[in-house]
Structure 1
Amino acid sequence: MPNIAHTYYPQSGRLVILGAGESGVGAAILGKDKGFDVFVSDMGSISDKYKADLQAEGIAFEEGQHSEELILNADLVVKSPGIPEKAPMIKKLRAAGLPIISEIEFAAQYTDAKLFCITGSNGKTTTTLLTYHILKNGGMDVGLAGNIGNSFALQVAREHHEAYVLEISSFMLDDMYHFRADVAVILNITPDHLDRYDYKMENYVASKFRMVQNQTSADYFIYCMDDPETMAALAKHPTAAVHLPFTYDSMTELGAYVDTAKNINILVPNRDAFIMNIEELSLQGKHNVYNNMASGLVGKIQQLRNKAMMESMSSFTNVEHRLEHVAIIGGVNYINDSKATNVNSVWYALESFSTDIVLIMGGVDKGNDYEMLKDLVRSKVKAIICIGKDTGRIHEAFEDDTEVIVNSASMSDAVQIASHLAKKGDTVLLSPACASFDWFKNYEDRGDKFKEAVMTL
């Protein structure tokens, strides 16, 4: 059975896609294959690649505008997760009472594949990739989609896997109503994107818990017992799914925990136990132990062999721009963590390294509260080099916690300064805590510029 009953949404008529990125173009192709009259509209410019895809499929589109007469006649609307509710066209569509859903919601109607869905404020990309790695190496026919990889809708249209690992953001979840995850994973919930949630943490938490809203007793819910926001929200968001918590700080009869010998123990009903020492994991650091426990639970639910899981968890290499090792130059370790666009991600990064750290941070501040970093900065960071436009708040936050805070004129300048401040055995860590759109195109561009600067030292 598909993951959504077809009767919830129109199965023919005019399908309007707002946003012509990876998810929008994928949804357009699936819609065309299912017989819809498809129209794609993007307020910005459409990249040459996606324009060529739409032209090759014979799908009508526009860019640089939203034409009301071509949009408000829709029977069904699929919108990009990046478009906020306050956007004028969304308000008009809502006023007209038209159904607006996400690409994930749309595509789930047309597949009976198992869906392993992962969300969380931090670690979801790593955990999604690790889960995909474990399942693929374990012999499953599995696709990778959501916030990462190729469009879910495009894969449902043209590839047909028996399972998908989906990285799901809160923005995607906001437009998902009848979707059901066979396995839902909530890694953690910390303040992020609060501007989209009326600056209310409870609204953001409720968005994350939409992951479990349609689960049945045949499904599984994996979550972190050590995360206070998740634990506080459990009672408000009940689910019939089998609960499998994971914890570093205590023990659990079902789920996953770390014992006194530093072994991960994974215990799933009607499956054999899985035990692996954390020192054998390819990804080190406490946050990566959590990520491995979550991914390992998914693998064990699927009854993968312990040997195959161990091989996968000891061989996995992390996503680019997330705690990515760049080089060791003059005994100094250079780490690219450009994907760390919020304070909590930086906390995880600082927690991962024990040596003296020269921290490169800054960019477009999203209303960050740096308080949670102060203890780690005091104990581990010997210098902070600021990049980007919002440097004042970083100086204010940490002026009493580290001896050196300096501004830089460019990424190359920041890396040069770092190389002079760092000694043999130190770590130079790019972990910005901020968005990248002042000096760079995106966080990938920021990370690439860091790596280029390091390699010219």
Structure 2
Amino acid sequence: MVSNKLVVLGGGESGVGAAILGKSKGFDVFLSDRGELHAKYREELIRRDISFEEGQHTEAVVLAADLVIKSPGIPDKVPLIVSLHEKGTPVISEIEFASRYTDAKLIAITGSNGKTTTTLLTYHLLKNAGYNVGLAGNIGESFAWQVAEKKFDYYVLEISSFQLDNIVDFHPQVAVLLNITPDHLDRYNYSFQNYTDSKFNIIKNQSARDHFIYFDDSEVILGEFSKREIIPSKLGISLNHEIKEGAWFDDGYLAINSKERPFRQDFSELPIKGPHNAVNAMAAILAAQSVGVETDKIKTGLLSFVNAPHRLEQVAVINGVTYVNDSKATNVDSVFYALGSFSQPVILIAGGVDKGNDYSEIEELVRQKVKGLIVLSVKYEKLRDYFSDIVPQLYITQDVQDAVNQAKSWGVPGDVVLLSPACASFDLFNNYEDRGDKFKAAVRNLEKS
């Protein structure tokens, strides 16, 4: 008999979507959020006659559940979740729940960096080829909501480690693992192995008929191959060496070595730049090939792709200086990739809420490429102290317009002004989108002056 009392913890996009799917499948649904629900989600719940509370979790109601779906933002170690585990109540993620009610083929993409671009590009390649495909996970509309109300044959899912922590039978036919670098370690008892294990959950239910696409240059990923059985068919990606079955970067070309459909694509023709995006593009191509997309459709899709905002997004060229918004770069690894995307001198705008960053990872690139560092942050001391003797000039501010104005004063034709913060945004902004939008507005003010 199906568990009937379903409690959803968290009333954001994924939580409300899970509640809607639960109700459509006959569950007695109750949604609980410790914060205040967004008005549009509150209205949806009322309209659909789904019971909910906000501003608290009523423990007695939650603990009476037969099944709990929790927001990825709620750690497993909070007392309420611990109590549920002790009681033996299943606690799962929205992606696990939604996957139980769809026969669609799933392409699931994870990694510490690059997963949003890869997910969007993979979705674009399938959509461009005429596939009936949905976009979900960490991006777009709720996976569960789409399963409840739409009928897609394929889903491309951006999946975080937090979502993978609470899967049971989630089974993607195509799994992509782009990289594993230290991130969110506070959620994993500061154990990098725990975080790595979470990422590898993406393949735990795959069969020999499925595909596992991975970055073959990652020592962390390759190191795990000796520790665990890899059941699905492996497709590697490399920037440094030829891959017999997979893809590699060959003298400026994306070289796809596939038994069925090998091809080459001049990477310089694509609208996305930098070695990290070469990896993302090869992953998307292999994923699209794995579900049968034809080569000519892949080639046209690659050329027409438009990336999401805040990811190496060119904002403007003013007096020969290019302004680039990379506000999504909230860790050092992302800044490493961003700096590697440019051969021109860079004026770097960085800073925010430091997550235990190790700036030695980018020190050599900063020495080579950065002609000036602008620290946009309330707590600026760590960046200032690390880079003051490394960069030719350094400026500190808490105002994004002031930061952009200072960058303009340093810039000469051919330079790049790059917002790539390496930090979270919450000291001065609502989120990374807000930071990126305010940076773009500040650049546009330069155009007017």
Whether TM exceeds 0.5 here: the answer is yes
Which of the numbers 2, 10, 14 marks the counterpart of 1:19? 10
> Aligned equivalents of 1:188 and 1:409: distance in 2?
33
State the match for 2:279 in structure 1.
Answer: 290
SS, match of residue 389 in structure 2 = coil
Please state whether the residue corresponding to 1:352 is helix, strand or coil.
coil
Distance 1:193 1:405 in 2: 29
Check if 1:330 corresponds to 2:330.
no
In the TM superposition, what is the alpha-carbon distance from 1:238 to its structure 2 partner?
2.0
Shift of 1:423: 1.3
**Which of these residues, 353, 369, 392, is aligned with residue 364 of structure 1?**
353
Aligned match of 2:237: 246
Q: Aligned-pair distance for 1:355?
A: 0.9
Q: Is residue 2:402 matched to residue 1:413?
A: yes
Counterparts of residues 163-174 of structure 1 (less than 5 Å) = 163-174=154-165
In structure 2, the gaps of 5 or more residues are none
Q: Which residue of 1 aligns with 2:254?
A: 264
1:121 aligns with 2:86: no
Alpha-carbon distance in structure 2 between the residues aligned to 1:87 and 1:351: 39
Q: Is the CA contact 1:12–1:35 (under 8 Å) kept in the aligned structure 2? A: no
User: What is the rounded CA distance, in whole Å, between the counterparts of 1:282 and 1:249 in structure 2?
Assistant: 22
Match of 2:171 among 177, 180, 183: 180
Instruction: Give the corresponding residue for 1:312.
Output: 301
Cα distance in 2, alignment partners of residues 117 and 76 from structure 1: 24
SS at match of 1:244: strand
SS in 1 for 2:31: strand
Preserved CA contact (<8 Å) 1:209 1:237: no
Are the equivalent residues in 1 in contact too, given 2:398–2:428 (CA < 8 A)?
A: no
Residue 279 of structure 1 deviates from its aligned partner by 1.7
Matched residue, 1:425: 414
Q: Which residue type is aligned with residue 407 of structure 2?
A: A
Are residue 444 (structure 1) and residue 433 (structure 2) matched?
yes
String of CA shifts for 1:105-135, please: whole Å, max 9, x gaps: 0010001100000000110000000000001
Aligned to 1:111: 102
1:267 deviates by 2.6
List structure 1 segments (4+ residues) > 6 angstroms apart after TM superposition.
none
* Amino acid in structure 1 at the alignment position of 2:321: V
Q: Is the 8 A contact 1:268 1:301 kept in 2?
A: no
1:233 to 204, 224, 227: 224
Return the offset for 1:418. 1.1
- The residue type paired with residue 19 of structure 1 is G
Q: Which residue identity does 1:337 align to in structure 2?
A: D
Report the Cα offset of residue 347 of structure 1. Answer: 0.5
C-alpha separation in 2, matches of 1:113 and 1:54: 26
> Given residue 267 of structure 1, which amino acid in structure 2 is its aligned partner?
N
2:188 pairs, out of 194, 197, 207, with 197
Q: Does 1:31 align with 2:22?
A: yes
**1:443 counterpart letter in structure 2:** Y
Which residue is equivalent to 1:89? 80
Q: Could you tell me how far 1:142 is from its partner in structure 2?
A: 0.4
TM-score with structure 2 setting the length: 0.98
Structure 2 Cα separation of the partners of residues 450 and 230 of structure 1? 35
The match for 2:40 is 49
Q: Which residue of 2 aligns with 1:132?
A: 123
Q: Which runs of 5+ in 1 are unaligned?
A: 1-9
Q: Deviations over 1:274-333 (max 9, x none)?
A: 221212222111111101110000111222221111111112111111111111111110
Partner of 1:216: 207
How far has the Cα of 1:390 moved from its partner? 2.4
Whether the 8 Å contact between 1:173 and 1:207 is mirrored in structure 2 is: yes
1:429 & 1:208 partners in 2: Cα distance?
30
In structure 2, the residue matched to 1:3 is none
Q: Secondary structure at the match of 1:65?
A: coil
Give 1:345 deviation, angstroms.
0.4
Match of 1:354 in 2: 343
Q: 1:59 aligns with which of 50, 66, 69?
A: 50
Contact kept, 8 Å, 1:324 with 1:335, in 2: the verdict is yes
- Counterpart of 2:63 in structure 1: which amino acid? L
C-alpha distance in 1, partners of 2:228/2:386? 36
Aligned-residue Cα RMSD (Å) equals: 1.1
**1:101 corresponding residue in structure 2:** 92
CA distance in 1 between partners of 2:278 and 2:183 (Å)? 22
**Offset of residue 33 of structure 1:** 0.1
1:258, distance to aligned residue in structure 2 (A)? 2.2
Q: CA deviation at 1:447?
A: 0.5
In structure 1, C-alpha distance between the alignment counterparts of 2:53 and 2:79, rounded to whole Å: 17
Q: Quick check: 2:6–2:68 contact (8 Å CA) kept in 1? A: yes
Local SS of the residue matching 1:126? helix
In structure 2, the residue matched to 1:278 is: 267
Query: Is the contact between residue 246 and residue 258 of structure 2 (CA under 8 Å) also seen in structure 1?
Result: yes
| Counterparts of residues 360-399 of structure 1 (less than 5 Å) | 360-399=349-388
- Between the aligned partners of 2:346 and 2:122, the Cα distance in structure 1 is 30
* C-alpha distance in 2 between matches for 1:100 and 1:380: 47
